Amino acid sequence: MAEHEEPLEDWAARRDARRPRFGERRPAPLGDEQRGAHVDPDAPRGVEVWDGQDWVPSGAAEDYEAAAAETGGDTTVRAERVPLPAFGRLPTMPKPYRPTIPVHRPHS
């Protein structure tokens, strides 16, 4: 088996470890735009709950800080589930660009 191939069971276990847990909550911007927490932190935010299939709205908060407090430690737990790449599996650094034709500047 090649290095980049893995059994389906191992792949499914990795995927399930990254997925949200049932009942997990997260703050979300109101409206159709997906924005980061740093964008307009004083704007009202929604609170969403994972129902096992999709994020479902469950409430609203005055601002991002209040929404984050409502979600409790779920945000920290979610961040800890994201695995970092192993150093041995990072791609190799590309070679620097070297022009094939010498370039000469005209003398002034």
- Mean pLDDT, each 10-residue run in order, the chain (108 residues): 77 86 87 76 89 91 87 74 70 79 78
Phi-psi region of 32 (alpha: psi -120 to 50; beta: other; left: phi over 0): alpha
Q: Report the alpha-carbon distance of residue 73 to residue 47 in Å, rounded.
A: 14
Whose tokens are 């704007």? That residue is: 43
Task: Give the pLDDT score at 88.
Answer: 67
Task: Give the pLDDT score at 64.
Answer: 86
Task: Give the pLDDT score at 2.
Answer: 60
This prediction has a pTM of 0.59
The 25-29 sheet, strands edge to edge: 25-29, 45-50, 55-61
70 by DSSP, 3-state: which? helix
Task: Give the pLDDT score at 70.
Answer: 85
Task: Give the pLDDT score at 56.
Answer: 93
